[in-house]
Structure 1
Amino acid sequence: MRLSFYSYFLILMMLSCNNPQPRKPILRKSSSTMQESVQYNKSLIAIQENIFKELMKTDSLNNYIASDYGFWYSFNLKTENTYFPKTEDEVLYSYEIFDVNNQLIYSENEIGIQSYIVDKEEIVEGLREGLKLMNVGDNATFLFPSHKVFGYLGDQNKIRVNQPLIYKVQLIKINKKNESN
């Protein structure tokens, strides 16, 4: 009896020592969903670019410049200063936000004067890049596609989802990080 018990136990141990079989991954075809998302975003950007192109045509008083960052801007007041904000400089600025129909969304009084340490703090991408194009005393109008400002979330208050915006910005002061800049 003991021999059969030990042989049964030995056989059981040998069978249970198999290596675990890895599971094969579940193959999901998400490339079509990704393609749809890419196409949607491309069409959204194209629509917003066309809106801004029409707006620039009707605003013949200003000369808009296409930035390398994917937005347009125009100087309402351009000073002779030649120092542009650099990384770690602190800039003081004020701004207003308008929709593409030039309806005020947020006024300068609502927002107040803002302080920003260049490339070290988080602000919307368009404004972050736009401030780097300005000198002290400059007043500029920026035309930002939705993906450069609040994107697919909006601000969950007055700015809607995927809403292109017009920012009117005044750069008040630049506190240089190093005087050698």
Structure 2
Amino acid sequence: MNKFYLLSLILFAFISCKSPEARHPVSVKSGSFIDASVERNKKMNSKEHAHIKKLIQQEKNLKYIASPNGFWYAYKTKLEADSLKTPKFGDVVTYNYNIKALNGTEIYTTENLKTQTYTIDKEELFSGLREGLKLMKEGETVTFLFPSQKAYGYYGDGNKIGRNTPLICDVTLYSITENEHN
């Protein structure tokens, strides 16, 4: 009987020492969902850009500048003084803004949003406004036109801004407090 247990134990140890085998996927995805999503996003993006460019052409009072970051902006109040600096990483800025849909309907007023304080690139803020604040000097007011991917994107803000909504923001930068480490 002891030989049987010993033989079973050796056989069990031999079988359990087998290296694991790789499992193969049950089904293979072709990537067609991703391809369709990319095409859908390209079409949506080109529609938004066309709508924004149409707004820019209709606007006679402001001269819009295309940002390398994927949005457009125009100065309502521009300061030409070279001594004034734009905010850098870690600087604290105080500003206020409003948010409108491209048709001009106000979504959030400056009274709704109140005066904001933001530490450049260290806090959460939608990407367009984060990049836009870096272009401004103290005392300037700028109108930004953000396509949806530079605004709240696919998810919206979970409140009044729906998904894939391009926005207009009027922003006034009140102060820049430099970070001691800059």
Match of 1:40 in 2: 40
Q: Confirm or deny that 1:24 pairs with 2:26.
A: no
Pair 1:13–1:66, CA change in 2 (3 A): same
CA distance in 2, matches of 1:99, 1:13: 70
Instruction: Report the counterpart of residue 8 of structure 2 in structure 1.
Output: 9
> Which whole-Å CA distance do the structure 1 matches of 2:32 and 2:124 have between them?
33
**In 2, Cα distance between the equivalents of 1:2 and 1:132?**
81
Alignment partners' CA distance in 1, 2:63 and 2:15: 79
Structure 1 counterpart of 2:166: 164
Per-residue displacement from partner, 1:106-160 (whole Å, max 9, x unpaired)? 0000000000111111111000000000001110000001111111111111111
Q: Give me the whole-angstrom Cα distance separating, in 1, the residues matched to 2:10 and 2:123.
A: 67
User: What is the DSSP-based 3-state SS (H/G/I as helix, E as strand, rest coil) of the residue aligned with 1:13?
Assistant: helix
CA RMSD of aligned residues (A): 2.1
What per-residue deviation string (whole Å, max 9, x for no partner) do you get for residues 70-124 of structure 1? 0000001101343111111110000000000011110000000000111111111
Match of 1:55 in 2: 55
Runs (5+) with no aligned partner, structure 2: none
State the 1:18 CA deviation. 5.0
**Cα distance change of structure 1 residues 176 and 17 upon mapping to structure 2, 3 Å threshold:** closer
Alpha carbons of structure 1 residues 107 and 10: separation in structure 2 relative to 1, 3 Å: closer
Residues 8 and 174 (structure 1), Cα distance of their counterparts in 2 relative to 1, 3 Å cut: closer
Q: Percent sequence identity over matched residues? A: 41
| DSSP 3-state at the match of 1:76 | strand
Q: Which of structure 1's runs of 4+ aligned residues deviate more than 2 A?
A: 5-18
Between 21-30 and 119-128, the greater mean CA deviation after superposition: 21-30
Name the counterpart of 1:65.
65
Amino acid at match of 1:13: F
Q: Which residue is equivalent to 2:151?
A: 149
Secondary structure of the structure 2 residue equivalent to 1:147: helix
What does residue 139 of structure 1 align with?
141
* Partner of residue 115, structure 2: 113
Letter of the structure 1 residue corresponding to residue 18 of structure 2: N
The alignment's TM-score, normalised by the length of structure 1, stands at 0.90
